[in-house]
Amino acid sequence: MPSAAGLNSPCIQMYFAAPMVTPQSSVTTLQTIAPLLASQQELPVPSARIFSIICIYNPTPMDLGLRNRTAIVAASSQGIGLATAEAFAAEGCRIAMCARNAEALRAASDRIRQQHKAEVFTEAFDVSDAQAVHRFVESVVARFGSADICVTNAGGPPAKGFLAASVDDWRRALDLNFLSTVYFAREVIPQMQKNRWGRIITITSITTKQPVADLVLSNAVRAGVVGLVKSLSNEFGKDGILVNNVGPGYTATERLKDLARSRSAASGRSQSDIFDGWSADTAVRRLGEPREVAETIVWLASERASYITGQTVLVDGGNYKGL
């Protein structure tokens, strides 16, 4: 423990910059430091500042508090969903994964079991099938005893302008990117209410804040998910359930390769030119990695984000141009 006289040293400032607070650590710190402060003739920093420094000081390393939680991650055989399942496994969660392709799902889940020694449950189905979602969540609870965290996800809708999109395209986008979220929320919320703790995190897109030219299906349908997220956060916050939305920007996955292919076909520009354009459009001048979206999701699910609900967090490298 540093002495009070040394409070201004860079080393001590670093100690006090530790962002996490637990009531117990604050009390312990206060008890330790109070006699030191009382013995000082002249306080090294203004007393009000010392008080606030004491209140934020926490000597323990960051603990996300997720160990042994059950995390459902939908559409997780590849891309952002897979990275999210891996990130929860790394935090000691039990993982429930789904996707349509059983073989891809098996390969993904085997990797997670091996790397993280995690308990992983998988089932292959289409997330736009309400009955399948019902059976899946039922099986997860039967196996793991709870459904603490639910990350909703699905493949993105096709890149199309308004007149090119058929009524079937709209129905499919609603089923896949809106109703699938409703199906999962309906199943997990009663489970979360029982434990008075839960986290629902929807994966949508930067299109929730900034529409993208040829993604009219995403632009329109994902706005509905944001409305749902806000409504659920208002209705179920009293039950200890936090509901947030994460909007990825251009993230290096198969989905982005598909988008590059369709834009290249429509415009005649090369795919590498299109990728370069996406990178140049961000503040950080590069594409995102699935891991970067996943880590934001894990943090939002954690005890460290316990007062955040009803929000959209963009993980877009500064692509969003608004304030």
Q: How many Å separate Cα 103 from the centre of its chain?
A: 26
Which residue, 58 or 204, has its beta carbon nearer to ligand NAD? 204
> Percentage helix, strand, coil, to 5, in the chain?
55, 15, 35
Does 127 interact with ligand NAD (rule: CB under 6 A)? yes
Report the residue from 248, 275, 294, 309 that binds ligand NAD according to the rule CB under 6 A. 248
Please state, in angstroms and as integers, the Cα–Cα distance from residue 138 to each residue in 98, 123, 146, 187, 200, following that order.
Answer: 13, 12, 10, 8, 17
Least distance in angstroms from the C-beta of 80 to ligand NAD: 4
Residue pair 88/62 in contact (Cβ under 8 Å)? The answer is no
Please state, in angstroms and as integers, the Cα–Cα distance from residue 207 to each residue in 76, 198, 314, following that order.
Answer: 21, 26, 10
Least distance in angstroms from the C-beta of 278 to ligand NAD: 8
Does 113 interact with ligand NAD (rule: CB under 6 A)? no
Q: Which stretch binds ligand NAD (CB under 6 A): 11-19, 62-70, 78-86, 110-118?
A: 78-86
Q: Which stretch binds ligand NAD (CB under 6 A): 33-41, 51-59, 71-79, 112-120?
A: 71-79
Q: Which residues pair with 201 in a beta bridge?
A: 151, 244
Q: Which stretch binds ligand NAD (CB under 6 A): 87-95, 151-159, 226-234, 304-312?
A: 151-159
Q: What is the number of H-type helices and E-type strands within the chain?
A: 12, 7
Report the residue from 93, 256, 300, 315 that binds ligand NAD according to the rule CB under 6 A. 256
The number of residues making up the chain comes to: 323
Does 198 interact with ligand NAD (rule: CB under 6 A)? no
Where on the chain is the footprint of ligand NAD (CB under 6 A)? 75-81, 99-101, 126-128, 153-156, 176, 203, 205-206, 248, 250-251, 253-256
